[in-house]
Structure 1
Amino acid sequence: MPSIDLRAGCSLCRDADPLHFDFSYAFQPIVDVHAQKVFAHDALVRGPAGEPASSVLSRITAENRYSFDQACREKAIRIAASLDLRSHLSINFLPNAIYRPEVCIRSTLQAADQHRFPVERIIFETVEGERVSDGKWLAEILSEYKRIGFKTAIDDFGAGFAGLNLLADFQPDMVKLDMALIRDIDRSPSRRAIVAGVVSMCEQLSVDVIAEGIETDDEAHCLSDLGIRLMQGYWFGRPRFECGTLEADIQWTV
């Protein structure tokens, strides 16, 4: 991992207002259906007693956005370490809360070091649909994260219009297909054609594809036939509040 001075601070870190609300995480497995093992756990924000994500996200403002983004990273790593998760850990981040990626990543590196969670097992997901004023800037953020040693992913790929342009500027380690493309794919020739095209394109770019939102055996089989091995959804395992999903609980019928 490149050397970064973890002691160095910045005015935004020092002067940021503390959050006036609490939150926690549920963890949902991302499975490798070919190897029949858990590849990663997706950290999904929840209220402190397991309340829906909306109860937390509705409290994010322009004033606390930076503090929330920083707190999310530290808490996801801390809880994952306490659960002794041996898989990758996938964390959503807010690109609009970052002003200098090499500076804003320091608290994340401190948390990984403090809780002894390997940096190379952390995946940072950016939501494609989030409004980002400068796509080149987002590519710079992801490039810096990749340089440090994190894995990177575009979440909800296909939900907006920025995904293809972003892929032209930066190739993440993974893209996560939006669940709207997955729903009833076994009965939709158009969805199958689109997903097959994305899979082919990503193969040429050496980008792994994750299908999320899978709810039926037929969807899972169809996606496997299209060449996708990394999958996530209720069919395999539901999110579990402050608890990693045991592999014994996972559906492996694909």
Structure 2
Amino acid sequence: MDTQTKSCIECGLPFPIRDSGFLSIFDQKQALHNLNGVYEQEGDLYYVPYVSKQALSQLISTIEETCDVSELMVFTGKYKVRNHAVMIPFGYLRERVENESLVQFISSGNFISHFQPILNLKDSSIYGYESLLRSGDEHFNISPGQLFQVAQSTGLFSLLDQKARETAVQSRVNNIQEGVKSFINFLPSTIYNPDFCLRHTFSVVEKYNVNPEDLVFEVVETEKITDVDYLKKILNTYKRSGMKVALDDVGSGFATLEMLQLLQPDYVKIDRQYISYCDQDSEKQQFLQNVMHIANSMGIKVLAEGIEREEELAYCRSIRVDLAQGYFIGKPAPKPLQMNRFLY
């Protein structure tokens, strides 16, 4: 399966788990020869009937116990499927059956954004808000971490990340005034072809008539990035559309100071480990000053995240950090907080 096809499958809605039907299996290695039971075979395609979801779950367990499933591609539905392109890895199906309610929520559930304020340290005004994905269903309360974990194990990582970006853009309407930035997380590993995969996000921006210059797309999971050139291509795709980009967790793992010169983001967010008690730690102070020196020379704005103490805020202000974010300033909330206690 080529990369483009894989990306389209993982961005699309998952096929429903039918109460009865056929498990269609594409088996290039003939791994199913050990499977006892009733099935039809047409070349390297196998069709195994099932009469209930419980029977399907048992069938999946039997196949996993008796066969090599490492390269099996499958599809379950009311009818036999002969289109290889719509099939998914066997492991994805197993996880989708086990987590059916969560998969359904990822597919069609109600998502909202919570907003965490970002303070402009130069004039103590609200510079923007980070948009954080939350469930909008009071009867389906699940943490974003758990949601993304299930999405990854079921092959729906790209779909959920796309929905998170759409929710963030949509939630901005009637909540955040023009000129105030929205910082929106995205996962580079879910974008296989920037020009193609980001079309949906750009169409959402147009649909809701949002000014692209008010959007800052923020790289997360930086420790997993292995292809710097490809990440740069993604960032440049955003920039060509008039949007800004940010590099998260500078100082932690992948996001080193050297990456700033290679990727040239518009913003860098300093990892919490360098902000915590920075007013008392000379090594952290030296690191922060180095970041400021490099960022200033490149015209990059610096954002200190995870500020939880007044002293941390005061130190960052003293070395002219541009922006700040953290629980001391404001926690994520369903509506943007209107700050006034820092206006001094």
Q: Give the structure-2-normalised TM-score.
A: 0.66
Note the C-alpha offset of 1:178. 0.5
1:129 maps to 222
Identify if the C-alpha distance between structure 1 residues 232 and 188 changes in structure 2 by more than 3 Å, giving closer, same or farther.
Answer: same
Identify if the C-alpha distance between structure 1 residues 94 and 161 changes in structure 2 by more than 3 Å, giving closer, same or farther.
Answer: closer
CA distance in 2, matches of 1:127, 1:31: 20
In the TM superposition, structure 1's runs of 4+ consecutive aligned residues that sit over 4 Å from their partners are 10-15
Bigger Rg, which one: 2
Identify the range of structure 1 (87-96 vs 139-148) with the bigger mean alpha-carbon deviation: 139-148
CA distance in 1, matches of 2:240, 2:325: 27
1:75-86 equivalence runs, <5 A: 75-86=167-178
Tell me the alpha carbon deviations over residues 49-75 of structure 1, each in whole angstroms, 9 at most, x when there is no partner. Answer: 465432322322151011111111111
2:63 maps to none
- 1:46, 1:56 within 8 Å by CA — same for their partners in 2? no
CA distance in 2, matches of 1:245, 1:135: 36
CA distance in 2, matches of 1:166, 1:139: 10
Tell me the alpha carbon deviations over residues 163-187 of structure 1, each in whole angstroms, 9 at most, x when there is no partner. Answer: 3343232200000000111000011
1:73 maps to 165
Report the 3-state secondary structure (helix = DSSP H, G, I; strand = E; otherwise coil) of the residue aligned with 1:120.
helix
Equivalent residue letter for 1:120: E
2:315 maps to 222
Report the 3-state secondary structure (helix = DSSP H, G, I; strand = E; otherwise coil) of the residue aligned with 1:59.
helix
The answer to whether the aligner puts 1:234 opposite 2:300 as a matched pair is: no
- 2:276, 2:307 within 8 Å by CA — same for their partners in 1? yes
CA distance in 2, matches of 1:253, 1:90: 22
Note the C-alpha offset of 1:220. 0.5
Equivalent residue letter for 1:211: A
CA distance in 2, matches of 1:34, 1:66: 37
Report the 3-state secondary structure (helix = DSSP H, G, I; strand = E; otherwise coil) of the residue aligned with 2:264.
coil
- 1:47, 1:56 within 8 Å by CA — same for their partners in 2? no
1:1-254 equivalence runs, <5 A: 12-13=7-8, 16-18=12-14, 20-21=104-105, 22=109, 23-48=111-136, 49=138, 51-61=142-152, 63-86=155-178, 87-127=180-220, 129-241=222-334, 243-248=335-340, 251-252=341-342
Report the 3-state secondary structure (helix = DSSP H, G, I; strand = E; otherwise coil) of the residue aligned with 2:261.
helix
CA distance in 1, matches of 2:150, 2:221: 21
Note the C-alpha offset of 1:195. 0.5
Question: For this pair of structures, how many residues does the alignment match?
Answer: 242
Tell me the alpha carbon deviations over residues 5-60 of structure 1, each in whole angstroms, 9 at most, x when there is no partner. Answer: xxxxx864477235522343211011102222111110112233465432322322
Note the C-alpha offset of 1:96. 0.5
Tell me the alpha carbon deviations over residues 183-238 of structure 1, each in whole angstroms, 9 at most, x when there is no partner. Answer: 00011111111111111111111111000111111101101111113111111111
Give the share of equivalent positions with the same residue, in percent: 30
CA distance in 2, matches of 1:144, 1:25: 24
Identify if the C-alpha distance between structure 1 residues 247 and 13 changes in structure 2 by more than 3 Å, giving closer, same or farther.
Answer: farther
- 2:302, 2:321 within 8 Å by CA — same for their partners in 1? yes
Q: Give the structure-1-normalised TM-score.
A: 0.88
Report the 3-state secondary structure (helix = DSSP H, G, I; strand = E; otherwise coil) of the residue aligned with 1:61.
helix
Report the 3-state secondary structure (helix = DSSP H, G, I; strand = E; otherwise coil) of the residue aligned with 1:161.
coil
Structure 2 residue ranges without an equivalent (≥5): 15-102
- 2:148, 2:157 within 8 Å by CA — same for their partners in 1? no
Note the C-alpha offset of 1:139. 1.1
Identify the range of structure 1 (139-148 vs 89-98) with the bigger mean alpha-carbon deviation: 139-148
Where relative contact order (Cα < 8 A, 6+ residues apart) is larger, the structure is 1
Equivalent residue letter for 1:39: Y
Structure 1 residue ranges without an equivalent (≥5): 1-9
- 1:69, 1:94 within 8 Å by CA — same for their partners in 2? yes
CA distance in 2, matches of 1:162, 1:176: 10
- 1:128, 1:162 within 8 Å by CA — same for their partners in 2? no
CA distance in 2, matches of 1:247, 1:181: 25
Tell me the alpha carbon deviations over residues 85-122 of structure 1, each in whole angstroms, 9 at most, x when there is no partner. Answer: 43111111010011111111111111111111111111
Equivalent residue letter for 2:295: C
